[in-house]
Amino acid sequence: MIIVMKPQAKQESIQRIKNIIESKGLYAHISAGKEVTIIGVVGDKTRLQDQNLEIYEDVDKIVAVTESYKLANRKFHPEPSKIKVGNVVIGGGSLVIMSGPCAVESKEQLLATAHAIKKAGAQILRGGAYKPRTSPYAFQGLEEEGLMYMKAAREETGLPVICEVTSLNAIEAAVKYVDMLQIGARNMQNFYLLKEAGKTGLPVLLKRGLSATIDEWLNASEYIIAEGNPNVVLCERGIRTFETATRNTLDISAVPVIKEKSHLPIIVDPSHATGVRAYVKPLSLSAVAAGADGLMIETHPDPARALSDGAQSLTFEQFEELTRELRPLAALMGKKF
């Protein structure tokens, strides 16, 4: 942390700040320029959390030197993390595809989807049992019944399963049935939910919030890891911008930025990013080319009749075509698929 003093700050103002820093057992490194003096704080800056240094006389601004997230930070963990979900490893040099319906609608729908996506090469089955819908009148999910079908699909296909949790009750139910929890975009900064998901020890897929910066997203991941659960995978799913041609705007740059700032694996969800089936393939290819560790793709046996997100869901044939086209690109990127 660096404290930048105002031009021509009085000597007594500089000394006051230095005294506060030293009174907390920290070292104050003063560099006096011609116009501006800056004070570097060396040591554990959390000792200064009861001091609002910016309100003292002649202080211009406080500049953070290191990010507030530590456990998710690549600076303190240079090796990329590998996260195990059942027998699947995310971030270990493979391309991992999670696919399935937006919402679990019936046992038949889920099992048909599970078999089709497995045949096409997907390694994890997704399905929503608790749906965070924009309208309270839209289909809200089958809840625990849906989780039971997810477990049945895993037993039948061997695919690990992931389901979104939206409340503490949903977490308590989901831990009995699924291999990975999903925290959706709308709950990315529901810090209580993040902590509870962290406590389960299950791997967590943390989607980026609709309007979240990368810094806020990584701080959210820190809440989960700080509970002693390092098994976090990030998912870029588009952010709100002024553009209305797509549901959201896919921030492909998040992939290399996350790779630089964090050791956590990152996957991309082009389905929720665009809301349009025709854009899912080109953006899946872009995500893999940018270095993503995986993809989340919505599929449905009959998208025209889907109870949610039909317009962005791929048919089984379209999903098969997508995985076929991904194979040579994955190989080019050095990823097993």
Which segment (12-20, 178-186, 192-200, 322-330) binds ligand PEP by CB under 6 A? 178-186
Q: Does 207 bind ligand PEP (CB under 6 A)?
A: yes
* CA 143 centroid distance within chain: 23
Q: Which does 91 bind (CB under 5 to 8 A by kind): ligand PEP, Mn ion, none?
A: none
Q: Which does 185 bind (CB under 5 to 8 A by kind): ligand PEP, Mn ion, none?
A: ligand PEP
- In this structure, is the dihedral angle defined by the CA atoms of residues 116, 119, 121 and 124, taken in order, positive or negative? positive
Smallest gap from Cβ 305 to Mn ion, in A, equals: 15
CA distance 218 to 211: 13
Q: Does 247 bind ligand PEP (CB under 6 A)?
A: no
Q: Does 309 bind Mn ion (CB under 5 A)?
A: yes
Question: Smallest Cα–Cα separation from 111: which of 77, 70, 161?
Answer: 161
Q: Does 127 bind ligand PEP (CB under 6 A)?
A: no
Q: Using the minimum distance from each CB to ligand PEP, give the nearer residue, 100 or 121.
A: 100
Q: Environment class of residue 12 by beta-carbon count within 10 Å: exposed (0-12), middle (13-18) or buried (19+)?
A: exposed
Size of the site for ligand PEP (CB under 6 A): 11
Q: In 230-315, which ranges are continuous DSSP H helix? A: 254-261, 270-274, 280-290
Smallest gap from Cβ 312 to ligand PEP, in A, equals: 10
* CA 16 centroid distance within chain: 42
Q: Using the minimum distance from each CB to ligand PEP, give the nearer residue, 95 or 163.
A: 163
Give residues 85-104 in contact with Mn ion (rule: CB under 5 A): 102
Q: Pairing between strand 88-90 and 83-85?
A: antiparallel
Which segment (17-25, 181-189, 212-220, 311-319) binds ligand PEP by CB under 6 A? 181-189
Q: Does 128 bind ligand PEP (CB under 6 A)?
A: yes
Three-class secondary structure of residue 15 per DSSP: helix
Which tokens is 9 given?
A: 């700050």
Length of the chain, please? 337
Smallest gap from Cβ 270 to Mn ion, in A, equals: 12
CA distance 251 to 269: 10
Q: Does 102 bind ligand PEP (CB under 6 A)?
A: yes
Q: Does 300 bind ligand PEP (CB under 6 A)?
A: no
What residue ranges bind ligand PEP (CB under 6 A)?
A: 102, 128, 132, 164, 184-186, 207, 237, 269, 272
